[in-house]
Structure 1
């Protein structure tokens, strides 16, 4: 984001200089404004594959939710998603945080394609990730656990 802003700012300044060269009587602030508008036009006209990220669609087939334990406390959802995406489409990653402090608790849940989830459980359980040994299991359904506790 900062890189594209810097590029747009440089393009606006260059555009203002070009306009000012061809129209020396044109006010400088209007030349800069026109250059900025041209830069915005150029940035939005760039094909989607060149500078914008690909929009991912959610996987629609059978899914499974995995519990991922012993995660590094500083890991981000994107890093966990990239790790699990090697095995199949990932719909969501939710890293659990402490309600009072907002700090991550070191575990989370990954919802992904069922076939990929089976592979991920096999390959990533006891896998060393950022100097921590992951524990990957199928997540337990809270409703099922509550029913068992009532019996």
Structure 2
């Protein structure tokens, strides 16, 4: 919301300057208000293309959760979603943070379509991303970890 407001404000100021240049008899405040109104209308009419939009539909077919290791510490969920989105629909991205400091720990989990996850594992494991070599594996579930500890197969 804050980004939209700042963009509207900047465009309104630029619009007011342009209007004032073409109609110097028009008071500057009227040009500014006209710029705000026009920019607001444009933002309302153009659909939002943000990948984090709340109404975005979730993939409902078979999914797989991937472990993604050696992520850059400054990476954001949206960047990871775009990277993995090249291989199939992504339902969620969770980057793990340290509880005390709130800093990212350099790994996370991506839930996406099963077919896309298979492709992503092949293409993105050992892939150089923002100067880091990613490690991409199928995430272990708590059930598989329990089976590993007891030595039984399900």
TM-score by shorter chain over 0.5: yes
1:8-67 per-residue CA deviation (whole Å, 9 max, x = no partner) reads 344467679999957x8xxx86x478536633553345332xxx3165321111111100
List aligned pairs for 1:19-98, cutoff 5 A: 21=25, 31=30, 35=34, 38-39=37-38, 41-48=40-47, 52-53=48-49, 56-98=56-98
CA distance in 2, matches of 1:105, 1:93: 14
TM-score by length of 2: 0.73
Is this contact kept in 2: 1:71–1:134, CA < 8 A?
A: yes
Unaligned runs of 5+ in 1: none
1:59-111 per-residue CA deviation (whole Å, 9 max, x = no partner) reads 11111110001111111111111111111011111100001111110000000
What's the counterpart of residue 119 of structure 2? Answer: 119
What's the counterpart of residue 8 of structure 2? Answer: 4
What's the counterpart of residue 135 of structure 1? Answer: 135
Count of aligned pairs: 143
| Larger Rg computed on CA atoms | 1
Is this contact kept in 1: 2:8–2:40, CA < 8 A?
A: no
What's the counterpart of residue 102 of structure 2? Answer: 102
- CA RMSD in angstroms comes to 3.1
Q: CA deviation at 1:145?
A: 2.5
Q: Structure 1 139/12 Cα, relative in aligned 2: closer, same or farther at 3 Å? A: same
TM-score by length of 1: 0.74
